[in-house]
Amino acid sequence: MAKIIGGITTSHVPAIGSAIARKVQHEPYWKPFFDGFIPVRQWLAEVKPTTVVVVYNDHGLNFFLDSMPTFAVGCAPEYRNADEGWGIPQVPPFPGQLDLSWHLVESLVDEEFDPVTCQEMLVDHAFTLPMALLWPQQDWPVKVVPVCINTVQAPLPSARRCWKLGEAIGRAVQSWQADERVLVLGTGGLSHQLDGRRAGFINKEFDLKFMRSMSEDPTWATRFSTEDLVEHAGTQGIELLMWLTTRAALRGEVRKLHENYHIPISNTAAGLMLFENR
Ligand code: DHB
Ligand code: FE
């Protein structure tokens, strides 16, 4: 039987890719952000996950406004990155964990979720950069299953719906007949808004409340409507839905091992949390 060994939630900002390329991780602007990942990488070296379910939101690389699934699951043997226009180097392709992809799809449909299944899928900075933060050599010692949630075009799935999706992902992984150690990685947030009159908006108080809730009262954010979450966290801060989905996938005894919070990275309040799932 497969085991969920834990969850990691982190922000994703394209500028991380250029910082890696320019090797400026130790400069004062970047150090408080990159240093946050040191304990996470130590933990990964100890627990050695074999499979990663990556819960992220595509920003227009694979899905565009003409066809926008609410939920999509990658069912491809391999996932490639491509140019998004940020001018950052592309990363090597990720090997897909096809067996878990199809098991997850079957399990989700059985539980009355109806994800789009993608037998070809490009993965954008929201997928590639968190993976590069966890495995800086970019040699990907794991196989992956992308789970993509729409945060781009209204209507978005509610926080409650994302919580339920996460629970269903957790059940699917647990019922996967494979001797694998599975990590759930959720990427996005925390508060930021890239457009409109509130461009540059950051809400530290809300972010810290949300991070505390992730360990102390994990369903706390499900009380908010999408509009309320946007009000509190910004139009792109809604990406915290990936954190919520990830947290919901962790079952049994869950212990927070590490967290980091730093403002700003580009226009974003950068958060990081590591949970162990026993
Ligand atoms: C930024 C943040 C994001 O979440 C994203 O997808 C793109 C850019 C930023 O702060 O620059
Ligand atoms: Fe984003």
Chain segment 112-143, per-residue pLDDT in tens: 999 999 999 999 999 999 999 999 999 999 99
**What's the pLDDT score for residue 202?**
98
State the pTM of this model: 0.98
Predicted confidence (pLDDT) at residue 29 exceeds the cutoff of 90: yes
Determine the atom of ligand 1 nearest the C-alpha atom of 188: 4
Active site residue 258: no
Report the alpha-carbon distance of residue 225 to residue 160 in Å, rounded: 9
Those residues whose C-beta lies under 8 Å from the C-beta of residue 148, and which sit 6 or more positions away, are: 56, 57, 58, 62, 63, 69, 71, 72, 73, 74, 121
Closest Cα to residue 246, out of 38, 114, 53? 53
Determine the atom of ligand 1 nearest the C-alpha atom of 125: 6
- From the centroid of its chain, how far is CA 122? 16
Report the alpha-carbon distance of residue 266 to residue 278 in Å, rounded: 35
**What's the pLDDT score for residue 173?**
98
Which amino acid residue places its CA nearest to atom 10 of ligand 1? 267
pLDDT tens, position by position, 9-28: 999 999 999 999 999 999 99
* Contact by Cβ (8 Å): 218, 40: no
Question: From the CA of 225, how far away is ligand 2's center (Å)?
Answer: 19
pLDDT tens, position by position, 185-223: 999 999 999 999 999 999 999 999 999 999 999 999 999
Burial code of 173-205, b = ≥16 C-beta within 10 A, e = fewer?
bbebebebbbbbbbbbbbbbbeeeeeeebbbee
- Residue ranges per domain, the chain? 3-265+273-277
Closest Cα to residue 258, out of 4, 5, 7? 7
The CA radius of gyration of the chain, in Å to the nearest whole number, is: 17
Predicted confidence (pLDDT) at residue 278 exceeds the cutoff of 90: no
3.90.420.10, 1.10.3260.10, 3.40.830.10, 3.30.460.80: which CATH number matches 3-265+273-277? Answer: 3.40.830.10
Rounded to an integer, the average pLDDT of 46-66 is 98
Answer yes or no: is the C-beta of 201 below 6 A from any ligand 1 atom.
no
Beta pairing partners, 146: 54
pLDDT tens, position by position, 215-254: 999 999 999 999 999 999 999 999 999 999 999 999 889 9
Look at the block and give the residue holding tokens 């939630």: 9
Rounded to an integer, the average pLDDT of 151-177 is 98
Report the alpha-carbon distance of residue 16 to residue 262 in Å, rounded: 13
**Mean confidence (pLDDT) of the chain:** 97
- The beta-strand segments (E) located in 121-180 are 143-149
Active site residue 12: no
* Contact by Cβ (8 Å): 134, 34: no
Question: From the CA of 176, how far away is ligand 2's center (Å)?
Answer: 30
Burial code of 34-66, b = ≥16 C-beta within 10 A, e = fewer?
bebbeebeebbeeeebbbbbbbbbbbebbbeee
Closest Cα to residue 273, out of 130, 128, 72? 130
